[in-house]
Chains A and B, each alone.
Chain A
Amino acid sequence: DAGVIQSPRHEVTEMGQEVTLRCKPISGHNSLFWYRQTMMRGLELLIYFNNNVPIDDSGMPEDRFSAKMPNASFSTLKIQPSEPRDSAVYFCASSPESERTEAFFGQGTRLTVV
């Protein structure tokens, strides 16, 4: 398996623009996580899904952020409109089953909002 695949790897956008980050989890994994990593705030859990259903989105910072998982093989994280303080590395991770196993991380998307 190719692992968790995120795209794009790098994104530079202007303030106010819409940004969509994409994630393909490992086939057969039931849980999917979106994290944001910054120097100031560390690694924050934004939202996670079990079996395509959002379970906890309490980490989503604002209504400008939204995430979807239309099927077991694809998820998106959208920021609209983007702001400079959204600049960070966004990681997607997937896990094969609930409560017993490790998470596998993608390589991340480095987002820069100017």
Chain B
Amino acid sequence: SQQGEEDPQALSIQEGENATMNCSYKTSINNLQWYRQNSGRGLVHLILIRSNEREKHSGRLRVTLDTSKKSSSLLITASRAADTASYFCATGAAGNKLTFGGGTRVLVKP
């Protein structure tokens, strides 16, 4: 079963624009992580935010976490064609259980 659900399922933007995707989850978590997957490849970790944190930045990435709403958002600023990929949120729970959502497919048009 999937813990997180991403919204939207697909996103198409122009290079230079910002991309925002959201993740909702159902149960308590220790942390929430975002991963990227290029077609046919394994997932690559982008950023981790702990349950006691509200916002985190890494380069062009900004992640927010609202534990009261059980939701998170990932913002990619100044998108590039190379950002075209699927993005997944994953919830880290007790015992290091890591469960993924359905993903958002992002297309950045040059």
Where the two chains meet, the residues of A that have a C-beta atom closer than 8 Å to any C-beta of B are 4, 31, 33, 35, 42-45, 48, 50, 55-56, 59, 91, 93, 95, 98-108
B14 within 8 A of A: no
Report how far A48 CA is from B88 CA in the complex, Å: 19
A-B pair count, CB < 8 Å, reads: 69
Residues of chain B having any CB pair with chain A under 8 Å = 1-2, 30-31, 33, 35, 41-45, 48, 50, 88, 90, 92, 94-103
Give the residues in chain B near A93, CB-CB below 8 Å.
42-43, 98
A106 to chain B, nearest CB (A): 6
Complex CA gap A106/B71 in Å reads: 28
- Whether B48 contacts A33 by the Cβ 8 Å rule is no
Complex CA gap A101/B30 in Å reads 10
User: Considering only CB atoms, which chain A residue lies closest to B100 in the complex?
Assistant: A43
Q: Is the CB of A100 within 8 A of B98?
A: no
A99–B92 CB distance below 8 A: yes
